[in-house]
Amino acid sequence: MNLKAQEVQILIRLGHLFLYFVLVFAFIFSIHFLAKVYGSVAFDENSWVENIQLALLCISVLVFCGQVVIFPAYRAVLLFLMCCCLFACCRELDATLDALVPVLHWKFAYIFPLSAFTYIWKFREKARKQFCDFFNMPAFYLMFLAVVLVIPVAQCIGHGTFVKNVLGINKVADIKELFEETTEAVGYFLILLSSIEMYYNVKSIKVKK
């Protein structure tokens, strides 16, 4: 059976998505394993799940940083994504940074997205084309799903008052941490996957050109 180039591209994308689907399952079951071994302690501040979240974000920062060097034609998008991951890293380290950084505490991390926006504005003509390409990439939709999980799903459904209204006051903190931290971890894992997918997407565009 002879396949057209477009059909081959679609099959490759579907293959990537299936692989990511399997990897997310494996990642969730790894959290199941941690819960079996360590119980609720695995979800405590600075414990296993939080450290995994931080590691995922740090690796994503490195992946995007490497792509900034490899694909200078997409520097504005990649710097923006890298800076967003850096901001999220600082947000996850809020307790530590609040103790170490006077006055601003962890909020000094806003300098990262602000720097990215400054760069984008300075090179806005080039950045516009880069973001238009990015919004058509599978990596964008994977990243959008990750953001949905990390912000509205984890923060709103894992909200303490919501959990209390549904399940009562017993162990609200534990239940909240279980849902919120697990959902955030899956979201950060998807961000890492999207950073890898970004490499293939940009490489594919450069090959076409």
Q: What is the pLDDT of residues 122-178, one digit of tens each?
A: 999 999 999 999 999 999 999 999 999 999 998 888 777 777 777 776 767 778 888
Q: What burial class does residue 198 get, using C-beta atoms within 10 Å of its C-beta: 0-12 exposed, 13-18 middle, 19+ buried? A: buried
Give the pLDDT of residue 46.
81
Report how far apart, in Å, the C-alpha atoms of 154 and of each of 4, 47, 158, 163, 202 are: 41, 18, 5, 12, 30
Distance (Å, whole) CA 34 – CA 40: 9
Backbone angles phi, psi at 196, to 5 degrees: -70, -45
Output the pTM of the full model.
Answer: 0.91
More confident residue, 189 or 179: 189
Mean pLDDT of the chain: 89
* Alpha carbon distance, N-terminus to C-terminus of the chain: 27
Domain range holding 158? Answer: 5-208
| Number of domains comprising the chain | 1
Quickly state the pLDDT bin for 206 (edges 50, 70, 90): low
Give the pLDDT confidence score for residue 50 in this predicted structure: 92
